[in-house]
Amino acid sequence: MNAYFTKLNIIFTLQVATVTLAVFGVFPREVFLFLAGIIVFFMLFSSLEESVYFITRSIPVFVALPITETFDSLNMWRVAVLILFLRWLFVGERVSGFLNSCALLFSKARQGFWGAWLYAWKEWRVETLALLLFLVSVLSLVNAENPTLGIKRIIYFANLWMLFFVVRQTANRENAVKIAWNAVIGGSVVIAVGALQLISAYTMGVDNFSEFWALGVNKTLYGAAWANIAINANTWFAYYNDTIHLRMFSSFPDTHSFPLYLLMVICFAMFLRKTFFVSLLVALACAEVVLSGTRGIWASVLFPLLFLGYLFVKKFQLPSAVFSPFILFFLLLLLSSFIFNSTQFKLTGTGAERAVLAERIKSILDTGETSNQGRIFIWKKTIGSIQNNPLLGVGVGNFPVILKLNPTASKAGASAHNLYLNFFAELGVFGFALFMCIVYEIWKAGWRLFMRREDVLMSFFGLNFLLYFLWILWYSMTDVAVFDERAFLLFMILLGVIFALPSRYGTTARIN
């Protein structure tokens, strides 16, 4: 019993309880300032590993702090990650090691630029790419219509990437399993909220539902600015004829980042021993990925399946367990018709008027469908902007100017609806090339782990990472939802683990 009464469990339980009571109006949002003080104290006096566990499980319940009436969107994760990074960075041996590495790099630079470059590339490849991407982002501000937004965007991503570096240096085979467990615990909170949300779709009218989830839940978690956006422009519903149907989003701001988070939770869950709880969580996560109603997610599942087919043709031995989530996904997609086609929000309609699932599937390739038309229009505008600004783009964080929108519209989701075009349009050809190099390095790290055939568990985790990373990459052809703070936080943790584990074993086979 004492094993459950740890500092980590107590603080997390307090956090969940406080957020829940604030959502229902029992506590004012100002109580989060007191909660933030407790979290800061915990982060300062806990081990780095325990702090990583806490951030991993707390991603769904990190809240925006009500600093003032007009500034209430600073999320607690930003403070927690910064404290963790600074504690990790200013360890005595790490500072001395960093200074020694810099001295060695400068000595090589005096002998020749290319020698120093090759040394940095060999020793710190991902770090070098990240630094170059940072520099290109700063340089792109030359073209930015609103440099302030660009600076905020750079700080935002720098804050997120801090987590990657800490996890990469602290993760190993033993605590990677604990990190996975904490991701699953956080995922279980998201799944539970999703289930309650589905129930509310059958017990509330659409106006009451929108008011509760926007002005209650979203305002509590993300602040008043986002709540106002959510109440006026959201992706929470599928409309068909005179009926409205829920697209599940749980505690997330939209229906796009929500399934991405769950895909990464499934990836972590596959790393764990298959208990009843883990198996149930995977099944429920698959169900809620389906119930998000995100067509890009449904369609892009084809690509990890094609990759499995490639591995089968190449005669790789594939564990049968790797197929389970995909089989569940397709079974649940078929069964979801009972939910998508049912009466929700107390609205009626004939069976034909409620054929939502079939219509959404058919609309995936329908260029005449409204949202598809919108994406095609935006892609054309983006390509035109790339042609006009090929070197430095329009400036990091300034995509809305391409569509002649207010630059602050990025908060409301103004983007290229394509991760790759978005990078190219904002940062130009150099930023795009650096981004693709980082993607390639991530893929190689997953492949190296997969090729550790002598360690079945590590190899299995590497294979699962490749599958879900590929799923996310192809989905990103239609959206930039991976930029959402909650999805990106878990992505940084997942990457940190993936890069840490192969380095513990040394070099491995190349991709053929």
Roughly what angle, to the nearest 10 degrees, separates helices 31-45 and 48-58? 150
Q: How far apart are CA 38 and CA 36, in angstroms?
A: 5
Query: Do the domain assignments include residue 6?
Result: yes
Picking from 219, 208, 214, the residue whose alpha carbon sits closest to that of residue 235 is 214
**What torsion do the CA atoms of 44, 47, 48, 49 make, to the nearest 10 degrees?**
-140
Residues 262-281 pLDDT 10s: 999 999 999 998 899 999 99
Residue 17 lies in a domain: yes
Residue 450 lies in a domain: no
Residue 99: pLDDT band with limits 50, 70, 90: low
Name which of 223-237, 285-299, 316-330, 399-413 the model is least confident about.
399-413
pLDDT digits (tens, 9 = 90+) for 441-471: 999 999 999 998 888 999 999 999 999 999 9
Q: Is the pLDDT of residue 97 over 80?
A: no
With respect to residue 50, please indicate whether it lies within any of the assigned structural domains: yes
Domain assignment of residue 58, given as a range: 1-90
Please report whether residue 66 resides in a domain.
yes
Q: Is residue 41 part of a domain?
A: yes
* Tens-place pLDDT, residues 363-414: 777 777 777 888 899 999 999 999 999 999 999 999 999 988 876 655 556 7
Residue 53 has pLDDT above 80, yes or no: yes
- Tell me what the pLDDT averaged over the chain comes to: 89
Gyration radius (Cα) of the chain, Å: 23
Q: Which residues are CB-neighbours of 166 under 8 A, at least 6 positions away? A: 48, 52, 84, 85, 88, 496
Residue 95 pLDDT greater than 90, yes or no: no
Angstrom CA distances, 455 to 251, 449, 461, 505, stand at 37, 9, 10, 10
Q: What is the mean pLDDT of residues 226-247?
A: 84
Q: Residues 320, 490, 411, 161: is their CA dihedral positive or negative?
A: negative
- Read off the pLDDT band of 92 (50, 70, 90): low
- Distance CA(264)–CA(493), nearest Å, equals 10
Query: Which pLDDT score is estimated for 173?
Result: 87
pTM: 0.93
Question: What pLDDT does 509 receive?
Answer: 36
**Spatial separation of the C-alpha atoms in residues 471 and 298, rounded to whole Å:** 10
Comparison of pLDDT for 85 and 106, the residue scoring more: 85
Distances (CA, A) of 12 to 7, 9, 17, 176, 332: 8, 5, 9, 19, 32
Task: Report the Cα 445 to chain-centroid distance in Å.
Answer: 19
In the chain the first and final C-alpha atoms are separated, in Å, by: 50
Domain assignment present for residue 21? The answer is yes
Number of domains in the chain: 1
Does 35 fall in a domain? yes
Q: What is the pLDDT of residue 73?
A: 87
CA distance 202 to 41: 42
Q: Where are the alpha helices (DSSP H) in 204-256?
A: 206-211, 219-222, 224-232
Q: What is the rounded distance in angstroms from the CA atom of residue 458 to the CA atom of residue 464? A: 10
